[in-house]
């Protein structure tokens, strides 16, 4: 998806977003409805439908959000998903595009502490949001405990689903849905692994939760 983008990096926000404001992982929040080129969104509306149509351009909006601790301000086509914003405009390619339709979980990131499918999340709705991707989990050379557990448990083969699995696992642990392997399976059920590494993935989440 093409986008007219101007990007600036400003110092990290001192404000932290509240988890309660974030969308549910299983809730499609891409409800900014594009109607005749106009979009209802949280970002700053830059181009009206009539003006954009007259100019032959897609409507765009400016949005400021914090990604892995760094405030980013971008201007994007209103139809841009968070996943495309991350991968194509911010060069954060750890989040994977599997189905691009909310069915595989490969694109899972945290928005205001909540798990979301970034392929279903409109970027322009994220004004002021705090986004954490797989690139933001480690502290320097020190991996997040769940990243280390995936290595220790050999919880991947091709690795394509792994960033989404880990981000979903972090969310699952934060939510406290780790009382049993069955509960972990239930709350990780939106993350598909074509290599069938589920037993080891669940074990990695379970062990990391137990160490908290
Ligand atoms: S790429 Fe987003 S759920 Fe599959
Ligand atoms: S490790 Fe290959 S899809 Fe999960």
**Which residue owns the Cα nearest ligand 1 atom 3?**
102
Which residues form the domain of 89?
Answer: 60-136
pLDDT beyond 70 at 57 = yes
Q: CA-CA distance, 205 to 178, in Å (whole number)?
A: 8
Q: Are residues 68 and 108 in the same domain?
A: yes
Residue 171 counted as domain residue: yes
Write out the two tokens for 184. 């972990």
Count of domains observed in the chain: 2
- Mean pLDDT over the full length of the chain: 82
- Mean pLDDT value of segment 112-140: 98
Helices (H), 34-144: 49-55, 82-84
Indicate which CATH number applies to the domain containing 184. 1.10.150.120
Q: What are the backbone angles phi and psi of residue 199, rounded to the nearest 5°?
A: -60, -45
So what's the pLDDT on residue 58? 82
| Cα separation, 210 vs 212, whole angstroms | 6
pLDDT category of residue 37 using cuts at 50, 70 and 90: very low
Q: Do 130 and 166 have their domain in common?
A: no
Q: Are residues 170 and 152 located together in one domain of the fold?
A: yes
In this structure, is residue 50 part of a structural domain?
no
For ligand 1, whether the C-beta of 28 sits within 6 Å is no
pLDDT score of 51? 62
Q: How far is CA 37 from the centre of its chain?
A: 25
- Give the pLDDT band of residue 15 (cuts 50, 70, 90): very low
Last residue of a domain, one of 136, 161, 177: 136
Q: Are residues 64 and 126 in the same domain?
A: yes
Tokens at 103, concatenated: 């069915």
Q: Is pLDDT at 49 greater than 70 in this prediction?
A: no
As a whole number, mean pLDDT of residues 83-91 equals 98
Q: 140-170, pLDDT tens digit by residue?
A: 999 999 999 999 999 999 999 999 999 999 9
Within this chain, do residues 132 and 64 fall inside the same structural domain, yes or no? yes
Q: Is residue 128 part of a domain?
A: yes
CA 164 / ligand 1 centre spacing (Å): 9
C-beta 107 within 6 A of ligand 1:
yes
């Amino acid at each position: 998806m093409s986008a007219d983008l101007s990007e600036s990096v400003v110092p990290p926000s001192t404000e932290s977003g509240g988890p309660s404001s974030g969308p549910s992982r299983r809730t499609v929040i891409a409800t900014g409805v594009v109607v005749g080129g106009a979009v209802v969104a949280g970002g700053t509306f830059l181009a009206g439908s009539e003006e954009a149509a007259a100019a032959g351009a897609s409507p765009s909006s400016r949005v400021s959000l914090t990604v892995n601790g760094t405030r980013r301000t971008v201007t994007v086509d209103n139809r841009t998903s968070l996943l495309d914003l991350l991968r194509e405009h911010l060069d954060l390619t750890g989040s994977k595009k599997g189905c691009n339709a909310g069915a595989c979980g490969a694109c899972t990131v945290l928005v205001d502490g909540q798990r979301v499918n970034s392929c279903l999340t409109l970027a322009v709705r994220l004004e002021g949001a705090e986004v954490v991707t797989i690139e933001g989990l480690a502290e320097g050379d020190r991996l997040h405990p769940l990243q280390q557990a995936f290595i220790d448990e050999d919880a991947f083969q091709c690795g394509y689903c792994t960033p989404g699995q880990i981000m979903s696992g972090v969310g699952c642990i934060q939510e406290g849905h780790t009382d049993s392997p069955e509960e972990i399976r239930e709350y990780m059920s939106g993350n598909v692994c074509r290599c069938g590494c589920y037993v080891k993935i669940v074990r990695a989440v379970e062990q990391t939760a137990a160490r908290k």
